[in-house]
Structure 1
Amino acid sequence: MHAGLQQALLRAWTGRGALAWALRPVAFVYSSLVWLRRFAYRQHWLTSQRLPVPVVVVGNVLAGGAGKTPTVIGVVAHLQAQGWKVGIVSRGFGRRSDAVQAVHTDALPAEVGDEPLLLQRKTGVPVYVGRERAAAARALLDAHPQTQIIVCDDGMQHYALYRDVEICVFDSRGIGNGWLLPAGPLREHWPRRALHAAGQSGEQLLVLNTGPNTVPGFTAIRQLADHTVDASGHMQPLAALNAPGAKPLCAVAGIAQPEAFFAMLRAQGIVPTRTMALTDHYDFDSWSRNNHGHYSLICTEKDATKLWQHVPEARAVPLVQTAPADFYAALDRCLQPHRPAPLSS
């Protein structure tokens, strides 16, 4: 989607203005298709595949990013601390193929997707991608039979994969104007009606806000780290970007809400000379070093997986997201019936 159109829709979705009303007929068609698909699962004309291990789906009902990737990273770290052997599956949005494949540290984002690559590098657990998440999960379990739990990155509306727990992530937009796509930001109605045929239930649904608490649930704290990193892994303090004599700074962001990244930089005292808001999942293949050679480039970790192929000295700023302890306690309670029995001595 063109960046200008993307930003226009984001603005339209905050209220019920002329553009939102103009898109209501299309939203009605979309709503009908959503209802028909859910009805097909309720009637068991379409079926959900259940895995031999529990599945935690981290997703949202909003179009665009709401903080799923850092939530997945935090959930995986917590599950590992609780003794679980974790694997991750994802569709791998924007990659060249729909086939199932493993994600390795040195993989190309175009082959596996930028977010799955970031997840693999940040967590170190097995990550598999595939259009059909159940097929990706089975391939992961075949290759890593010790895996005890699968975390699915996105896929709340991917009913073909049966889930045991869901984590729905909201950002500062909340539910926007409350309308379905494209008149509003919602992929499905909220509050939703659980689709039990796919494993959904109100008791096994956790809501995590990554912005101001606009939807009843838990709220995470998000801020940028106090350091940056380049392609070689060299770290330096974030404040070094303001050092006397430093090159002017250009901040680039190819995420759903680029302005949020720029605002977080400013909150940390980093004021870029120039900002570039790009489309979500921007591939940087057309990026020209010559056009930006007199700037120091700074970006998100997701963008860095692609930008570093062209500008390895560009610096990424990690995002630190901290969910409250009671959120993880609630997750543990949801998973308690699925915990594997301890090995006998």
Structure 2
Amino acid sequence: MGVAALLQRHWWRARPSALARALQPLSWLYLGVARLHRAWWRWRGATALPVPVVVVGNLIVGGAGKTPTVVALVHWLRARGWTPGVISRGYGRHGGAPREVDAAATAHDVGDEPLLIARRGGAPVVVARDRVAAVWHLLQAHPRVDVVVADDGLQHPQLQRDLAIVVFDERGAGNGLPLPAGPLREPLPATVPPHTLVLYNATAPTTRWPGALAQRTLAGAVELDAWRRGEPATGAALAALRDAPIVAAAGIAAPERFFAMLEAQGLTIERLALPDHHGYATLPWPPDTPRVIVTEKDAVKIDAQRLGATRLWVARLDFAFDAAFDAALGAAVQRLDGRRR
């Protein structure tokens, strides 16, 4: 077992294990460096930007549902008359300079999640290591953008934020300890910070913070070539996959959730859990595998020409806000209208 896998086994326990307690001195060092970083930026001050910024992020290492939240938020804002744009670091990309996600971009160029956000959200997306530089690049290229959605960035105080949306999944805050003893990027405060909304990508809240629930559903499936052409996933195509076993591959933070959703639809699957952001430099299943189903985050990195005789389907996960979050978001965004350009 690798070090990362060993740590994660201990991170996601309800109470700190002996190993986690032994690592706590390193957590104190991590917190000390993080506090110095925040103090430096408080002294310098966040960069003033001409449009409001909504940061979507989490307090834990790894994904908890940021990407589908960003996509849902983009659609929500557009439906209410805003013109959103998105910025992201572009995890896993080569290079750090600002770059817009365009039709020629690959995951190697911009990262897998920005590719998926651009595809599903339909808003302009710019990636850069420097998130402030990403905002300016976005606004220069798209002057009609009047609100920026930041994919991640809670731990980046140099980026002005007008509203933060913190996302948790069914794992909550794990053992409640900061890195490396636990999964937290920063301690979980006793109360929700000002101008912050909490969204649970789970069936019930999983931390002490009050928040609303996301509604996540498996909307259907579509074969890879058709998915790349923009054809919709359908429930009928997903139902047709019940007739024989199929390999389910997922390079996401919580693959078991995806597998459980497939089984709930009556599919007989062979699980193939891959590391988050798996690159698919080589196909991870045997070349004679007849049928495979993957997430959209995986699909953006798979070359159809390398599949051979394997038929590959893409499962579409739809993500929506419940009534409580919709109302809270409406009230929060109304406050931003005065900064609209």
Aligned match of 1:333: 331
Q: Does the 8 A contact of 1:50 with 1:163 survive in 2?
A: no
RMSD across aligned C-alpha pairs, in angstroms?
2.2
TM-score by length of 1: 0.89
Deviations 1:218-240, CA, capped at 9 Å, x for gaps: 11122222333423325452111
Separation in structure 1 between the aligned mates of residue 17 and residue 193 of structure 2, nearest angstrom? 32
CA positional deviation for 1:202: 2.9
TM-score by length of 2: 0.90
Q: Does the 8 A contact of 2:51 with 2:339 survive in 1?
A: no
2:70 maps to 1:72: yes
Deviations 1:17-55, CA, capped at 9 Å, x for gaps: 13212321211111111121122223x1x4321210000
Aligned match of 1:209: 200
Deviations 1:90-124, CA, capped at 9 Å, x for gaps: 00000011110000134111100000000000011
Aligned match of 1:257: 254
Aligned match of 1:269: 266
CA positional deviation for 1:294: 2.4
Separation in structure 2 between the aligned mates of residue 304 and residue 93 of structure 1, nearest angstrom? 16
Q: Does the 8 A contact of 1:95 with 1:109 survive in 2?
A: yes
Q: Note the residue ranges of structure 1 that are not aligned, 5 or more in a row.
A: 194-200
Separation in structure 2 between the aligned mates of residue 57 and residue 41 of structure 1, nearest angstrom? 17
SS in 2 for 1:317: strand
Separation in structure 1 between the aligned mates of residue 277 and residue 190 of structure 2, nearest angstrom? 28
Separation in structure 2 between the aligned mates of residue 157 and residue 126 of structure 1, nearest angstrom? 23
Q: Does the 8 A contact of 1:148 with 1:340 survive in 2?
A: no
Separation in structure 2 between the aligned mates of residue 38 and residue 296 of structure 1, nearest angstrom? 49
SS in 2 for 1:232: helix
Q: Does the 8 A contact of 2:72 with 2:121 survive in 1?
A: no
Pick from 225, 231, 235: which aligns with 1:231?
225
Q: Does the 8 A contact of 1:252 with 1:275 survive in 2?
A: yes
2:287 maps to 1:295: no
Aligned match of 1:198: none
Q: Note the residue ranges of structure 2 that are not aligned, 5 or more in a row.
A: none
Compared with structure 1, are the counterparts of its residues 91 and 181 closer, same or farther at alpha carbon in structure 2 (3 Å cutoff)? same
Q: How many residues in Structure 1 have an aligned counterpart in Structure 2?
A: 327
Aligned match of 1:26: 26
Q: What percentage of residue pairs aligned between the two structures are identical?
A: 44
Compared with structure 1, are the counterparts of its residues 5 and 298 closer, same or farther at alpha carbon in structure 2 (3 Å cutoff)? farther
Give 1:187-202 correspondences, 5 Å limit: 187-191=185-189, 202=193
Separation in structure 2 between the aligned mates of residue 125 and residue 294 of structure 1, nearest angstrom? 36
